[in-house]
Structure 1
Amino acid sequence: MTHKVALGVEEEFHVVDLVSRRLTPQAHVVLDGLPEAGFSAELQRAVVETNSEPTTDLATLRAGLVDLRRRLIASAEPHGLGIASAGTSPLHGASGFVITADDRYQYLHDTYQFIAREQLICGAQVHVDIDDRDLAVLVAQRVEPWLPALLALSASSPYWFEADSGYASSRAVAWQRWPTAGMVGPFAGAAEYDQAVADLVTSGVIDDAGMVYFDIRLSAHVPTMELRICDACPLVDDVILLAGLFRALVVRETAAIQAGSPPRGDIRPTLLRAGHWRAARSGLEGDLISPVDGKPVPAPGLIEWLLEDLRPTLEQLDDWPTIAGLAADALARGSSAARQRAAFNKRGQLSDVVDLLLKETAGD
């Protein structure tokens, strides 16, 4: 078994009124009943975030995420509030957009205007330890071609402003409006990466390094690499699947660089950008673009290929049985986006979609 690299997860959740099933700007009410450790506010007052403790073990990570969700729900329910995990919430709130009272969030609102006002989206972010920043920059660029497959697995935001967007992940499309969102690089090392971030700050487009929103980025404060492309996932098992796959990609590409091996996936940035769009458009229910040859391939086929390609690394990490099982389950049930549409189609009610999200978020 190879060295177990630590990882952690941040999850963002929508706060909804349990009567109307609409978003409600009462995250502060939920947070008042919780400790600061592990729970925090977000830009919008209808969103709350949890932060897991770092661990090397996927079972421990899962238990931690389940506990954070349970505590969040327990704090919300006495106030008639529910917690829903998804890229977007199907029903918006009657009170409109309410920004959390905070100087940083006010800066985001004043600077980015409607992009910030419409930031009623939630993501799942995975952090993986990597202490060599030069190596991390190179690893990030080698992992990047596989990110659309992870986005497809997480796709959970078919509804945008109470209408079917036609996308599996409308959140991913909305996220791309931020000026620093999208692909990382190309960078030869940490010096170039850090200079690019410094140039963005100097330009006045962002205020600090924390406003760099690459799909995969280096933390400005701790020695971790952060996956930022994924929608929030209603089912906690899907979060564990994403975390395990991302860690395996980081570990594999780290070893490959050290061994002088070429990248597994290597296509032009224009095609990679198209691959991101393709994953957002159809999730698991359509084609993805292969990062190996740039050709379309059914999403389940590409994910199964990636899984087998990562099998040696997953086995070294002692993660293969867990990740293989979770991947099989995810492909069998389809994306959250597809499940949400199926729930809506039964009666034509978006409230039924919210009920599905509440149930899946609570899980076991």
Structure 2
Amino acid sequence: MITVGVEEEYLLVDPVTCLPVPLADDVRAAAGLGPFVDAKEVQSELLQAQIEVATPVCSDLDEVGGHLLRLRHALGTAAEKNGCRIVATGTAPYRDSTPVPVTEKARYLAMRSQAPQLVAEQLVNGMHVHVGVPDPATAVAVMNRIRPWLPVLVAMSANSPLWDGHDTGFASWRTVIFGRWPVSGPPPEFAGIEDHDSRIRTLLDSGAISDTGQIYWQARLSDHYPTLEVRCMDVQLRADTAVMFAGIVRAMVATALRAEETGAPPPPACPPEQLLAANWYAARHGLSDLLMDPEGRCRRAGDVLCLLLDSVAPGLEETGDAREVTSLVHRLLQQGTPADQQRRALAEGGVAALAHLLISETVAP
């Protein structure tokens, strides 16, 4: 079975004002989940109003869901003890005039020195899905095959419409904010592992990035695990929706792996300008408008999601996830994205309704 793991980033907020609060160290300590210095279940993040969690390596989606709920509930309880709440939103909907302190780690402090305004505005939270791959060369080949579908995942996962107390007009403002870093957005296509490694060495030697951790492509080879990491999604409001994306991403990778093994021809080349445009369009509209398919055609969002499910059907059957993932995709089409839900809550009940939505859904079973 192809393994999968999920990382999620959460925001700590005041339960009344929904403003970020810099209590990450206190909440992490109160949760009692893993030592601070180890990259285990609960990890430090760039800013002190954020916490990141990581599931163990999982074989099935039930494991993923169980770990995410356990971690969310543990942190939720710890946050309440410290007078705040955890919320799974892609951006902080409100910000104070005083920047949130940077976590006191050498790497984060160096980033603040290099790009102070970008760091101050990095109150954004994503989810990252790691899927096991046999070797780096295969991971590059798989990444080439799945990259045209990444904008569709951006649209489906949109959960960050609000910033500084107003609607940005984008379903995923996090995608726009993250795209300001020098090496970000959709990954390029590579001729192979040697091409991949050579281009990364050039970036490092140039000083454009300080380390490979600053390669913020929406899909990348993991430095620490034998995985391909897909990181284009906003963090999901509900844990079961995060499970859906874990299933989809694993199926994408599984389908691409089998295509590589059987020597199936790769999909038509997706030009970088087309992929960038599709990514921007997905971040702008989510599923509320037309969506660009991997061939560059604008179609109804539901039709593009059906195309995605059809393309990963072999992987879903292989992993046994077809029924669960299909059911959750149908729910997404009926309810809309979390960005749609945030907008509705704010319009109907103001800050109080928005805070209630974010707080309750983050720890919902």
TM-score, scaled relative to structure 1: 0.95
Work out whether 1:69 is the aligned partner of 2:72: yes
Aligned 8 A contact 1:24 1:93 in 2: no
Q: What do residues 35-67 of structure 1 show as CA deviations (whole Å, max 9, x unaligned)?
A: 324101100111100110111100111011100
Query: Which residue of 2 is the match for residue 296 of structure 1?
Result: 298
CA distance, structure 2, for counterparts of residue 152 and residue 184 of structure 1: 17
1:10-89 pair list within 5 angstroms: 10-33=7-30, 34-36=32-34, 37-89=40-92
CA distance, structure 2, for counterparts of residue 126 and residue 351 of structure 1: 32
Query: Which residue of 2 is the match for residue 195 of structure 1?
Result: 198
Query: Which residue of 2 is the match for residue 104 of structure 1?
Result: 107
Query: Which residue of 2 is the match for residue 172 of structure 1?
Result: 175
Amino acid at match of 2:354: V
Query: Which residue of 2 is the match for residue 321 of structure 1?
Result: 323
CA distance, structure 1, for counterparts of residue 71 and residue 316 of structure 2: 26
1:7 equivalent among 4, 8, 21: 4
1:244-283 pair list within 5 angstroms: 244-264=247-267, 266-283=269-286
Amino acid at match of 2:150: L
Q: What do residues 156-195 of structure 1 show as CA deviations (whole Å, max 9, x unaligned)?
A: 0001122110000000011100101022232122222112
Aligned 8 A contact 2:236 2:242 in 1: yes
Q: What do residues 207-255 of structure 1 show as CA deviations (whole Å, max 9, x unaligned)?
A: 1112111110001122110011110111111111111111111111111
Query: Which SS does the other structure have where 1:62 is aligned?
Result: helix
Work out whether 1:354 is the aligned partner of 2:355: yes
Amino acid at match of 2:192: G
Equivalent pairs, count: 359
Query: Which SS does the other structure have where 2:313 is aligned?
Result: helix
CA distance, structure 1, for counterparts of residue 261 and residue 276 of structure 2: 27
2:288 equivalent among 277, 285, 290: 285
Decide which moves more: 11-20 or 181-190.
181-190
Decide which moves more: 305-314 or 120-129.
305-314
Aligned 8 A contact 1:158 1:337 in 2: yes
Shift of 1:362: 1.1
Work out whether 1:145 is the aligned partner of 2:148: yes
Query: Which residue of 1 is the match for residue 166 of structure 2?
Result: 163
Shift of 1:202: 0.9
User: CA separation of 1:220/1:158 partners in 2, compared to 1, >3 Å: closer, same or farther?
Assistant: same
CA distance, structure 2, for counterparts of residue 204 and residue 310 of structure 1: 38
Work out whether 1:343 is the aligned partner of 2:341: no
Shift of 1:264: 4.3
CA distance, structure 2, for counterparts of residue 350 and residue 190 of structure 1: 49
1:118 equivalent among 118, 121, 138: 121
CA distance, structure 1, for counterparts of residue 268 and residue 189 of structure 2: 15
CA distance, structure 2, for counterparts of residue 355 and residue 92 of structure 1: 18
Query: Which SS does the other structure have where 2:286 is aligned?
Result: helix
Shift of 1:319: 0.8
Q: What do residues 288-341 of structure 1 show as CA deviations (whole Å, max 9, x unaligned)?
A: 1110x3110111211122113322321121111111111111111101111111
Structure 1 segments, 4+ long, off by >6 Å, are none
User: CA separation of 1:256/1:111 partners in 2, compared to 1, >3 Å: closer, same or farther?
Assistant: same
Query: Which residue of 1 is the match for residue 37 of structure 2?
Result: none
Long gaps (5+) in structure 2: 35-39
CA distance, structure 2, for counterparts of residue 299 and residue 204 of structure 1: 40
CA distance, structure 2, for counterparts of residue 163 and residue 19 of structure 1: 17
CA distance, structure 2, for counterparts of residue 182 and residue 90 of structure 1: 22
Aligned 8 A contact 2:186 2:279 in 1: no
TM-score, scaled relative to structure 2: 0.95
CA distance, structure 2, for counterparts of residue 242 and residue 87 of structure 1: 15
2:311 equivalent among 309, 313, 336: 309
Amino acid at match of 1:335: T
Amino acid at match of 2:76: I
Q: What do residues 107-166 of structure 1 show as CA deviations (whole Å, max 9, x unaligned)?
A: 111112211111000001100011211111111011010011111111000011221100
Query: Which residue of 1 is the match for residue 240 of structure 2?
Result: 237
CA distance, structure 2, for counterparts of residue 210 and residue 8 of structure 1: 18
Shift of 1:266: 4.0
Amino acid at match of 2:325: I
Aligned 8 A contact 1:91 1:351 in 2: no
CA distance, structure 2, for counterparts of residue 339 and residue 89 of structure 1: 15
CA distance, structure 2, for counterparts of residue 268 and residue 294 of structure 1: 10
Query: Which SS does the other structure have where 2:312 is aligned?
Result: helix
